[in-house]
Amino acid sequence: MTKDVIISKVQNFGKQTASVNDVLAVEEPLEISVSANGETTQLSVTMRTPGNDGELATGFLFTEGIILSANDLNNPPHQSMGENQITVRLKPGASHDMQKVKRNFYTTSSCGVCGKESIEAIMQVCRIPDRRNDAKVNMQHIFTLPDKLRAAQETFNSTGGIHASALFDFQGELISLREDVGRHNALDKLIGAELLKSEGETFFLQDRILLLSGRASFELIQKAAMAGIPVVCAIGAPSSLAVETAEKFGITLIGFLKNGNANIYSGADRVKF
């Protein structure tokens, strides 16, 4: 979602000014709640770009370990209590202790908890199958991903101020993409979209490459680990805790992917040249 505004454009060190139309990415709050066993609990308020809110809420619940698959949902989470409120309704028995749910949210890189505790918190709730996708990915395919992402970023092309997360197959073909002012929201929307169209009792994306339009933070690698994504690429830099998390979960993590260059921080054995 975008918004048109009139701005004063200043050029040539202030020698030229003009009133012109500009396009901004919209940022609004979304209150996410979950309803289970007759109890409704507010879980989070996030600043997001409106649109795909059902996917965002679903992806958030999955990456926080509250749901395992779309089978845990009583119905698609598209019934909003208000313009910026949404409730995800779980099937009876899907979550028995909402107080425990509220206590078990992960720590993030901004909360001051040490990296070891953060990674252990993910491992306690990560329920993906304990197996590794050992298929190799061609580095030449990896190099093509940034241009494909940029070409598909409709909102970024009009605003220049939005993050994107995209899934590709191992041949470098774009599968799906989501944008948002929040990088974590973009990834939750992407994972939520894939989960809502999936079938089965478990959900994981073991045959996908994730591309992030910015840096690779711990929080984003945490979400990728929950979804079982084996390869994560970022246009920007990873944090130290992001690298530690990728190593712990056997994720191939590639950063500074642009202009035919890249740094492989973990899982280099999965890459072929």
Q: 267's torsion region: left (phi>0), alpha (psi -120 to 50) or beta?
A: left
Q: Say how far apart CA 73 and CA 92 lie, in whole Å.
A: 9
Is 114 catalytic? The answer is: no
Q: What is the 3-state secondary structure (H, E, C) of 81-92?
A: CECCEEEEEECC
Which listed residue (111, 114, 126, 233) is catalytic?
Answer: 111
Q: Say how far apart CA 185 and CA 93 lie, in whole Å.
A: 27
Q: Which two tokens stand for residue 159?
A: 């605003």
State how far the alpha carbon of 130 is from the alpha carbons of 7, 46, 238, 249, in Å: 53, 31, 25, 10
Catalytic residues: 111
